[in-house]
Homo-oligomer: A and B are copies of this chain.
Amino acid sequence: MSRTRRRANRNNNHRKPHSSFFDIPYRPIVRNQWAPYEIAGPDRIAEIHDKSMQILENTGMRFMDEEAIDLWEKAGAKVDHKRQHVWPDRGLIEELVAKAPSSFTFRARNPKRSRLIGENSINFFSAAGTVFANDLDRGRRPGVQEDWVKLAKIAQMTNVIHIGPLQTVVLHDVPVHAKHLEMFLMASTILDKPHMGVSHGYVIPSDVIEMAKIVHGEDLKPELGPVTGGVVNVNSPLSYDDRMLGGMISFGRAGQFIVVTPFILAGAMSPVTMAAAIAQQNAEALAGIALIQLVRPGAPVIYGGFTTNVDLKSGAPAFGTPEGAWAFFIGAQLARRYGLPYRGSGSLNTSNVPDGQAMSESMWSLWPVVMSHTNLVFHAAGWLESGLTFSYEKFIMDCENLAMVEHMLAGPEWSDDAYSLESIDEIGTAGHHFGTAHTQARYQTAFYPNFLHDRRNNGTWLEGGGEDTAQRANRLWKEVLKAYEKPPIDSNMEQALQEYVTRRTKELENVALYD
């Protein structure tokens, strides 16, 4: 052994154990360079458009907010103030939807973390809106702030998670009126990635926007792109309530984006047939997007798809289904028809444990969203139990698939050096390529570096403890958490955020948030 080799080995032995989790690069942009997978022809897309316009023109939609009704009326739509009902015609809808940008930059506190939303970009965002936390050590329990902090730190350290957490778990130990304040503070300080805000009612969004101003400056410069965004799950069928509309109007007015997402379980919130569910999704999404354009023409919006079926034996939601895959594929096609960025979901499943079903079903949402050119992938990691639970282990398990997706989308290297006909000729018809100069020069970086999937043979695996995937993921999330480093933040900014939260927590104590 040469002296150099010995020294290298010695250094290796003294080095801290290194998981290839940390070898996965942060990619400032991930694109799907290949054509989107489309399962409906242009005539079918035109037909869905026509049916959805018929729904808006004939059945109409409810908007439970006077300002929204006024906006529609001024724009010339047929409205009924008493019933809070609107029948927008297709000309108006198309004219308004055309004002929305086809892409925008979602700006982060750290400009290097800003993300393009639109075109053929893809962005991953971990599970949001979950209630419980679950890990192998402590089991399933209501989420608390400690979980939120841990999961935010893990998200910051995870290069395939591009967008910071929203409601990772419900903060059961924080008063209702302070949850949105605490979440925005934590997301702004634990991470330097872009992150969403809460967009319910009028009070909460105004706090979100005020806090965003502390981070990004008094003029949010919406012309450079939004610095926060909110999610609105339509109250399907065909209704937006006042909480939703408050958020849409507030965020729209401030030039911050809204993900308008009909959450349709076919058979419950729409007819049982997927054609109807998809047409209704389109009607609901476009009506919301059009309203936001009435508030502020050119406001950034995202067309959201979250349509799947119910389990008709139990009435429970069914996630990771063929029906859901159709809806993801066609939803993306519809968004492209309107020139809008598209949102889907990446790890939907109904399993109670991070097992084979959990991962099979998750791949029934991840593959469709990737192949359909979904720009913003919600719930890309950690979702369990139909979204009730955030699983620490499943987060890691999903991240392996996300990292593999990013690697796949980069595509193979094509060059004479990569074809390497010389190496093929050198080895000829016998022997193997392990030892060639060509292999030796590349072997450390040639392939996707798996960090969780275990390829050891049965004997070695058993000797190593015979851990299954969830058990290995349990060790890994702790390593990742331990490696957390707080990203730099201006101390005045952090103090101002903290003071805002303290002040508003007091002020909001007796305020009804959704009035």
Known contacts A316-B456, A367-B363: A447-B355 contact under CB 8 Å: no
Known contacts A271-B439, A423-B276, A427-B237: A401-B360 contact under CB 8 Å: yes
Q: Is A233 an interface residue (CB 8 A)?
A: no
A313-326 to B contact mask, C-beta < 8 Å, 1/0 = 01111101111011
Report which of B55, B401, B419, B432 forms a contact with A268, defined as CB distance below 8 A.
B432
| In the complex, chain B residues whose CB is within 8 Å of the CB of A275 | 412-415, 418-420
Q: Is A292 an interface residue (CB 8 A)?
A: no
Cα distance A438–B280 in the bound complex, in angstroms: 15
Q: Is A371 an interface residue (CB 8 A)?
A: yes
| In the complex, chain B residues whose CB is within 8 Å of the CB of A425 | 55, 58-59
Q: Is A375 an interface residue (CB 8 A)?
A: no
Assembly stoichiometry (copies): 2
Cβ A274 vs Cβ B351 within 8 A: no
Within 8 A of B (CB), among A4-52: 34-35, 37-39, 44, 47, 51
A257-288 to B contact mask, C-beta < 8 Å, 1/0 = 00000000011111111111011100000000
| In the complex, chain B residues whose CB is within 8 Å of the CB of A470 | 355-356
Q: Is A386 an interface residue (CB 8 A)?
A: yes
Q: Is A138 an interface residue (CB 8 A)?
A: no
Cβ B355 vs Cβ A355 within 8 A: yes
Cβ B363 vs Cβ A447 within 8 A: no
Report which of B38, B355, B397, B421 forms a contact with A468, defined as CB distance below 8 A.
B355
Q: Is A172 an interface residue (CB 8 A)?
A: no
Cβ A418 vs Cβ B273 within 8 A: yes
- Distance in Å: Cβ of A446 to nearest Cβ of chain B: 4
Cβ A351 vs Cβ B454 within 8 A: yes
| In the complex, chain B residues whose CB is within 8 Å of the CB of A457 | 316, 385-386
18 sampled A-B residue pairs with Cβ under 8 A: A34-B39, A59-B421, A59-B425, A237-B428, A270-B433, A271-B420, A271-B424, A273-B442, A275-B413, A275-B414, A276-B424, A279-B421, A316-B456, A318-B455, A322-B407, A359-B360, A360-B400, A360-B401
Number of A positions contacting B (CB below 8 A)? 121
| In the complex, chain B residues whose CB is within 8 Å of the CB of A455 | 311, 314, 316-318, 350, 386
Return the chain B residue nearest A457 by Cβ: B316
Return the chain B residue nearest A274 by Cβ: B412
Cβ B419 vs Cβ A276 within 8 A: yes
Return the chain B residue nearest A466 by Cβ: B352
Cβ B269 vs Cβ A424 within 8 A: no
Report which of B358, B360, B367, B444 forms a contact with A312, defined as CB distance below 8 A.
B444
| In the complex, chain B residues whose CB is within 8 Å of the CB of A427 | 237
Q: Is A436 an interface residue (CB 8 A)?
A: yes
Across the A-B interface, the 10 shortest Cβ-Cβ residue pairs: A363-B363, A322-B408, A275-B418, A62-B429, A356-B469, A357-B469, A273-B418, A274-B412, A356-B359, A350-B455
Return the chain B residue nearest A360 by Cβ: B359
Return the chain B residue nearest A462 by Cβ: B352
Report which of B411, B423, B458 forms a contact with A271, defined as CB distance below 8 A.
B423
Cα distance A470–B360 in the bound complex, in angstroms: 12
Q: Is A239 an interface residue (CB 8 A)?
A: yes
Within 8 A of B (CB), among A357-403: 357-364, 367, 371, 385-386, 388-389, 394, 397, 400-401
| In the complex, chain B residues whose CB is within 8 Å of the CB of A355 | 355-356, 468-470
Return the chain B residue nearest A50 by Cβ: B419
Cβ A419 vs Cβ B279 within 8 A: yes
Given contacts A271-B438, A309-B446, 19 further A-B contacts (CB under 8 A): A34-B37, A55-B421, A59-B428, A272-B442, A272-B443, A279-B424, A280-B424, A312-B447, A314-B456, A323-B448, A325-B408, A356-B469, A357-B469, A360-B397, A360-B400, A363-B363, A367-B367, A371-B371, A386-B457
Q: Is A461 an interface residue (CB 8 A)?
A: yes
- Distance in Å: Cβ of A381 to nearest Cβ of chain B: 12
| In the complex, chain B residues whose CB is within 8 Å of the CB of A413 | 273-275
Cβ B364 vs Cβ A447 within 8 A: no
Q: Is A302 an interface residue (CB 8 A)?
A: no
| In the complex, chain B residues whose CB is within 8 Å of the CB of A462 | 352
Cβ B453 vs Cβ A421 within 8 A: no
| In the complex, chain B residues whose CB is within 8 Å of the CB of A458 | 140, 352, 385, 388-389
Return the chain B residue nearest A455 by Cβ: B350
- Distance in Å: Cβ of A188 to nearest Cβ of chain B: 33
- Distance in Å: Cβ of A103 to nearest Cβ of chain B: 23
| In the complex, chain B residues whose CB is within 8 Å of the CB of A85 | 429
Q: Is A54 an interface residue (CB 8 A)?
A: yes
Cα distance A361–B425 in the bound complex, in angstroms: 33
Cβ A358 vs Cβ B356 within 8 A: yes
Cα distance A267–B440 in the bound complex, in angstroms: 9
- Distance in Å: Cβ of A364 to nearest Cβ of chain B: 7
Return the chain B residue nearest A370 by Cβ: B367
- Distance in Å: Cβ of A78 to nearest Cβ of chain B: 15
